[in-house]
A = this chain, B = another copy of it.
């Protein structure tokens, strides 16, 4: 089984207190697709400009990511530039150049339309709708989002949430959406908006699932050094969806373990700039960290 992933495909210029890295491969779809590729085949939907480095296309291909849905248009690739503060928790956007993203109209190749697992990675909710409208009968649809869409596209987002099986957002976004300080009450309110599965990401504090079998408290892998957290949330949800797409049995039986795999994939993402660490990882290293997490949480 494969996962269809739509989201942004970008060049990220990332500044941290220790280093500066211009025009790395980034974007929610890139991070999610590479993460998912450890577990399943990935069909990616996105757009890049004709300035998009060939080596990044090769990188996608090395991860066996199906690029039939990746449009290459005349113009510039979406470019985001951001800076992290010393503790790596706060970041500010220095620059956003939409480029070819401004007029992006994702059209799904025929071969994509029957995908059963769909990840609508962070991107404008209108585009997430547009992709979902082209799907035949997806089995499990999950969307991620960001504060920007809560601020400028809330009606679109609320309509999207109704159509989802699972919705993933971080704790501050959950607070913004529900006006609820308590994370468990916030999850209850989000269920009322539609999704059966609600996942709240808490960065280095892990994540929480609320689903038909109740809550699951998912730990983050203990990292002694965070080089660049950009894309960690996308890697988490990408890894989770990739794992789910190839697991036998029900979503309910697999989703906890899928979150753990997502969490571990995200941990590798944090250990290098952009995708540099994630792309070097082997499946066996992921499995090893999953085993470690089992030990770290057992009592």
Contacts and interface: CB of A to CB of B under 8 A. Distances in A.
Contacts of A188: 224
Nearest to A216: B296
Contact of A222 (B215, B222, B256): B215
Interface stretch (A25-33, A57-65, A179-187, A281-289): A179-187
Contacts of A256: 298-299
Interface string A24-67: 00000000000000000000000000000000000000000000
A216 to B, nearest CB: 6
Nearest to A183: B204
A27 to B, nearest CB: 27
Interface of A is mostly: mixed
A297 interface: yes
Nearest to A210: B222
Interface in A177-215: 181-185, 188, 202, 204-206, 208, 214-215
Indicate how many identical chains form the complex: 2
B185 A217 contact: no
A274 interface: no
Interface in A65-91: 86-88
A35 to B, nearest CB: 18
A31 to B, nearest CB: 22
Interface string A152-177: 00000000000000000000000000
Given A217-B219, A219-B217, A224 B296 contact: no
A92 interface: no
A150 interface: no
Contacts of A217: 206, 219, 222, 296-297
B295 A214 contact: yes
A119 interface: no
Nearest to A225: B182
Nearest to A226: B182
A181 B86 contact: yes
Contacts of A142: none
Contact of A299 (B181, B222, B257): B257
Contacts of A259: 299
A56 B177 CA distance: 43
A181 B260 CA distance: 24
A223 interface: yes
B299 A184 contact: no
A296 B214 contact: yes
Contact of A216 (B202, B204, B226, B299): B299
13 contacts: A87-B181, A182-B225, A184-B222, A185-B224, A185-B225, A188-B224, A205-B206, A208-B222, A217-B222, A218-B299, A256-B298, A257-B299, A260-B299
Interface of A: 86-88, 181-185, 188, 202, 204-206, 208, 214-219, 222-226, 256-257, 259-260, 294-299
